[in-house]
Amino acid sequence: MAVYQYYLGVVPKQGIEKKHNSIPNKIAVSTETGYFESDAEIYWKEIEMKADNFITEIDLIVKRSNWGNEETSINWKTYSNEVDNDASIYLDEKTFTIREFNFRADLREENLKFLKNMIKLGVENDWLFFDLEGNLMSPKFEEIKNSIQNSNAHSFLENPIKFLENIDKKNK
pLDDT tens by residue, 136-170: 999 999 999 999 888 766 666 676 567 667 666 66
Query: What value does the mean pLDDT take over residues 27-47?
Result: 93
pLDDT of residue 163: 64
pLDDT tens string 84-114? 999 999 999 999 999 999 999 999 999 999 9
Distance of CA 40 to the CA centre of its chain: 11
Return d(Cα 31, Cα 34) in angstroms, integer. Answer: 5
How confident is the model over 52-74, as pLDDT tens digits?
889 999 999 999 998 889 999 99
Least confident of 4-13, 42-51, 137-146, 155-164: 155-164
Single-letter amino acid code for the residue at 81: N
Give start and end residues of each alpha helix (H) in 63-129: 113-125
Among 133, 150, 141, 92, smallest CA distance to 117 is for 141
Residue 2 DSSP SS3? coil
Domains of the chain (ranges; CATH) run 5-170 (3.30.310)
